[in-house]
Chain A
């Protein structure tokens, strides 16, 4: 059977068993080049399929996914999802997306330019070697993934999405004799490789910083100061904050400290955070939500006011709150008015945190962890790279304690972030 026939057949079979159901079929090819210790060591071609079924009957639901598309496997998958769904405990919050007009979405190329990938990757290694001879590229992965997805349900929704995207990540450290920096890593996504890899995201900046971080100093004692969170690190902090406040788990369990804060001021009025999965400014977006709705852009925090939760259809039904128009991610933070240099010049005492290595924050927002690849600032000037320094504070309080947002931003392809200074963070050395 062809893809559309598989979808129709599966939904018909499930409907005949009295099920409301959704079905997603995808076919993907990934072409990936791998670097280990500064050399290209491996090329991979990964073909894969996916068939995901979600079925509901009498308020009981279940999900099953399999990666084969032959008739026998499909029939087994249908029988399995029926068994799983019928086994569950009933919950009237289970539902599938209502009817939406059919649509086809496309982004990015269909095939990789393999020679260009090799040229770019080799060029990256050569540039690193010449510009940053103290750097060892511990690993790097450049891949192109093409995926075509068919998403349909028994309410008549029928979407097709096709996407091709290049993604790159690298981990590296700098070495000088017996001394070495901490490792650091970054990456980006792009629909074309129209420039050198070093020109994307924050790669060049972080490689230069690693060379500076071969020799570090430790801070002594503790103080409460400002921290400037870099764009790489800010994406982690944002995931932590939203994870404990505005997604299904935190709201269904009632543990979110934002559960009663919709429409209220939760952050500094200068903070504006969008989620833009279908914006041309985000290369690595998505078109359809996990529960089968056409994705839309939204603003999560608008001048400090919480505008939406990120609830799925199930989460919305469970809490009586509104379903979000997307699944989050693809965050775009509005820039501020000052340059990064000005922002640094206004810090009396604090640190720039370029990577956070810490425990998962508590549900109340408390966090503590190690400031990696970071710098000490005193009297408005960067003093030296630091090591063995810990930061602790509360993520919820930090949102209100914003000192400045930079006008410069970094585009990672899956999000665009500035540098943000927060006050009132405990910084402790040895």
Chain B
């Protein structure tokens, strides 16, 4: 995206205004059973203004970066805010301000690969699977790269630039069992542009071999026995639990909307073994999968310790919700596209590691399940959640048993977290998270494995 001198528009900003230029660039390449079925790029960019007037907001956006379109969006956003203020007359005070200047660029310094080279890389991964595992009924290899680039100016003095990329390769394998397809997928990649994330297709072969082995187990699997069971939720499931079932209930807009967390502040909501943080950019000394240093309201992003040793300590805030609660904004206001307004969103949400080894955790269960990979998740404002599980194993007498077919787990998160008795001493991030809340949003989720009681679906 062209760098724009947003500061020259400062004289046009009356009252509290955000002016943001943004470009999202996507590359997507797919091979289905060897056919190059997807070969796509898209670039979506533009400029937007959001204006605050005594508690009412106006927003407008345009795909053009011209002086005229900047004037037009500021004017339209101001008119929308004025129209609403005239009707609603909320009379709210000014938003909190703490201006800063920041620039965080995670673009690669390496020469960019061409589309042809990206296709060749994806094709090599597909060919490895085709040649090594001819017994698969189907396979799908998909490369997906997303670059989000933002420039922000706020009327209260913040000025920020960010370039946040991520590159992912997802692999789905399907095997036939008695005429029925059995499927398993995994996603590889991380923060960064493709050149910084992937080097050689062969680097993925070990993971592909493991995926195939897990699929073989699943083909010979069994249906889970339904009911409340002792389960170990591995890092990916612990991460989705932290995000979906706890994180969302503590987003301040949802708290105001009636989330169950509204009555739990400073109360014991989980086992003392549980601490849960929405990290801004670094966690345990490492850069997070989706590092946010400044949010889209120009607030410096800080870690939000949601649960500290089982006690609910904070909600996630924008400037407006922080004003309402009389606290500091946490830097959680983020927008997906130039045509979207910032909403309260998580950044990198994780349970903190404990002291147990995974081996000891498995050994401690007589009859339960070790659940490893989710495919989707949803949670209620009551914190009742459900996650689809595509990879898991029985635990019988302290040992892993047969794999299980696709299933779903559910529970009330604040109840389930009270049942946690062991937390593993390692930490793993899932980088492929895409949260949905009016707008999509890339997020990081992660944590250790946890031992708890959950309701598992089955037959």
Contact = CB atoms under 8 A, between A and B. Distances in A.
A41 interface: yes
B181 interface: yes
A362 B179 CA distance: 14
Nearest to A318: B35
Contact of A89 (B59, B83, B123, B376): B123
Contacts of B35: 89, 91, 93, 252, 318
Contacts of B114: 83, 87
Given A62-B115, A66-B42, A80-B41, A42 B137 contact: no
Interface in B432-459: 438, 455, 457-459
Contact of A359 (B42, B183, B375): B375
Contacts of B179: 257
A88 interface: yes
Interface string B51-77: 000011111111110000000000011
A357 interface: yes
Nearest to B255: A37
B87 A40 contact: yes
A61 B227 CA distance: 50
A6 B457 CA distance: 54
A311 interface: no
A359 B390 contact: yes
Interface string B240-257: 000000000000011011
B228 interface: yes
Contacts of A136: 257-258
Listed residue (B61, B138, B406) with the most chain A CB atoms within 10 angstroms of its CB = B406
A370 B116 CA distance: 44
A358 interface: yes
B186 interface: no
B387 interface: yes
Contacts of B83: 43
Given A67-B63, A83-B115, A369-B408, A183 B380 contact: yes
A139 B455 CA distance: 30
B458 A368 contact: yes
A9 interface: no
A173 B87 contact: no
A239 B44 CA distance: 28
B227 to A, nearest CB: 7
B81 to A, nearest CB: 8
Given A43-B83, A48-B46, A390-B457, A364 B76 contact: no
A241 to B, nearest CB: 15
A222 B181 contact: no
A388 interface: yes
A41 B56 contact: yes
Nearest to A252: B32
Contact of A45 (B80, B88, B227, B257): B80
B15 interface: no
Contact of B380 (A93, A182, A358, A428): A182
Nearest to A83: B115
A362 B405 contact: yes
Given A255-B181, A390-B410, A44 B60 contact: yes
A48 B381 CA distance: 33
A408 interface: no
A237 B46 CA distance: 37
B137 to A, nearest CB: 6
Contacts of A212: none
Contacts of A80: 41
Listed residue (A48, A253, A360, A430) with the most chain B CB atoms within 10 angstroms of its CB = A253
A175 interface: yes
Nearest to A426: B459
A46 interface: yes
A358 B384 contact: no
B388 interface: yes
A364 B376 contact: no
Contacts of B228: 430
B339 interface: yes
B183 A37 contact: no
Contact of A368 (B44, B140, B407): B407
Interface string A353-377: 0000111111110101110100000
A49 B56 CA distance: 28
Nearest to B50: A42
Q: Classify chain B's interface size.
A: 35 or more
Contact of A68 (B32, B63, B378): B63
Contact of A255 (B55, B56, B63, B138): B138
B263 interface: yes
A366 B119 CA distance: 34
A263 interface: no
Contact of B257 (A36, A89, A122, A363): A36
Contacts of B174: 253, 255, 363
A67 B455 contact: no
B13 interface: no
A139 B257 contact: yes
A41 B35 CA distance: 48
Interface in B69-122: 76-77, 80-81, 83-84, 87-88, 90, 114-116, 118-119
Interface string A135-164: 010110100000000000000000000000
B328 interface: no
A37 B253 contact: yes
Interface in B326-368: 339, 341
B260 A358 contact: no
A392 B33 CA distance: 30
A257 B174 CA distance: 13
B389 interface: yes
Contacts of B45: 67-68
Given A40-B87, A46-B61, A48-B46, A85 B39 contact: yes
Contacts of B59: 42-46
Contact of B457 (A63, A67, A178, A428): A428
B258 A138 contact: yes
B207 to A, nearest CB: 21
Given A87-B115, A387-B384, A254 B180 contact: no
A252 B253 CA distance: 43
Given A358-B408, A364-B182, 18 more contacts: A42-B58, A42-B59, A42-B80, A48-B63, A64-B40, A70-B64, A83-B114, A87-B39, A89-B36, A138-B254, A249-B140, A253-B138, A359-B387, A368-B457, A369-B388, A370-B408, A370-B410, A388-B384
Interface of A: 36-37, 39-49, 61-68, 70, 80, 83-89, 91, 93, 118, 122, 136, 138-139, 141, 173, 175, 178, 180-183, 222, 248-249, 252-255, 257, 314, 318, 357-364, 366, 368-370, 372, 387-388, 390-392, 426, 428, 430
13 contacts: A44-B60, A45-B59, A45-B80, A63-B41, A64-B42, A87-B39, A89-B36, A118-B87, A255-B137, A368-B406, A369-B408, A370-B408, A428-B457
